[in-house]
Amino acid sequence: MIDIQDQADHRGVAIDRVGISEHRHPTCFLDGDIEQPGMGTFSIHVGLPEDRRGTHMSRMVELVADHLTILDPRELPVFLKEASSKLDVLSVRVEASIALAIEVVSPVSKRTSWQSLDVTLAAEVSDNAVTTTSEVTTAITSLCPCSKAISDYGAHNQRSVVSLLTVGTADSPYPLPVDQAFALIRRTGSSPVFPLIKRPDERAVTMMAFDKPAFVEDIVRDVSLECRTAGIPHRVAVANIESIHSHDATASLSWGIERR
């Protein structure tokens, strides 16, 4: 059968990215101690040369089914080589997102529960150079230092959503595993969050937050400083879902990568 997509194009216009997005497929996230099945959301895009009319999107779906049913961040550079060969292009970008959960233990009752986190992985090859990123998003608690300082008793607190994106290098394509990024985020702010807590835990968490007030600016800086100490290029963003305001408080910064 004739393949229209393989026809030559004479308009002389290259395309930066063309491909598929929002493709959902079962996958199992595999990284160290984490092995969790789930539904992944994938996108694959290629840079299309000016003399090519189209790309083979069905092959992209096949690539996900054949190579990404096990989602191992360390293997994404290998996947790029396979994709580049099958799609006959020099530039390929893949993104994969999956919801995970890590078991946490409440501070007093020692009850276990599963704290959710969202993970987005991306890898790209262009001009023979490979770039990789991983982003972890989860929630913590923050208590307002100003509210604590000016109140006779108590202080307002809220849930904070923290996203940490780390960038790989040629020597270290995956510098911060997901479980380590999750733990780093939970060390910042005023207190971790726990899906399951009993009354003694609630007392402990409330006082923990009161003893460690943190602005959104404090959280974003503390996360960044840990990454800087490890020499990891990163971007961190924090949103405080304010409890006494009608707005959210947000902050973000980048280190070692281009701001956006």
Number of structural domains in the chain = 1
**48 CA to centre of own chain:** 27
Name, of 3-7, 110-114, 171-175, the range with top average pLDDT: 110-114
Domain of residue 90, CATH code:
3.10.270.10
How many Å apart are CA 246 and CA 242, to the nearest integer?
A: 7
pLDDT digits over 154-193, tens only?
999 999 999 999 999 777 889 999 999 999 999 999 999 9
H or E element in which residue 63 lies = helix 57-67
Beta carbons of 162 and 191 less than 8 angstroms apart: no
Q: Name the 3-class secondary structure at 249.
A: strand
**Residue 94 in this model has a pLDDT that exceeds 80:** yes
Q: Look up the pTM and report it.
A: 0.92
Is 130 within the bounds of a domain?
A: yes
Q: Domain of 179?
A: 4-255
Q: Count CB atoms within 10 A of the CB of residue 41.
A: 17
User: Does the pLDDT of residue 259 top 70, yes or no?
Assistant: no
Reported as a single tens digit per residue, the pLDDT across 43-82 is 999 999 888 888 989 999 999 999 999 999 999 999 999 9
C-alpha distance from residue 11 to each of 15, 46, 87, 196 (Å): 11, 19, 21, 60
List CB contacts of 140: < 8 A, sequence separation 6 or more. 159, 160, 162, 185, 186, 188, 189, 190, 191, 192, 193, 219
| Residue 236, in any domain of the structure | yes
DSSP secondary structure of 151-201: -SS---EEEEEEEEEEE--SS-SS-S-HHHHHHHHHHSSSEE--SS--HHH
Q: How far apart are CA 103 and CA 236, in angstroms?
A: 23
Q: 3-class SS at 147?
A: helix
Instruction: Judge whether 56 lies within some domain.
Output: yes
Does any domain span residue 198? yes
260 found inside a domain = no
- 8-state DSSP, 49: P
Assess if residue 149 is contained within a domain: yes
Checking DSSP bridges between strand 15-31 and strand 70-71, what pairing results, if any?
A: parallel
**In this model, does residue 258 exceed pLDDT 90?**
no
DSSP 7: S
Mean of pLDDT values over 92-100? 97
The pLDDT of residue 54 is: 85
CA gap 142, 190 in Å, rounded: 5
135 against 170, higher pLDDT = 135
Residue 230 lies in a domain: yes
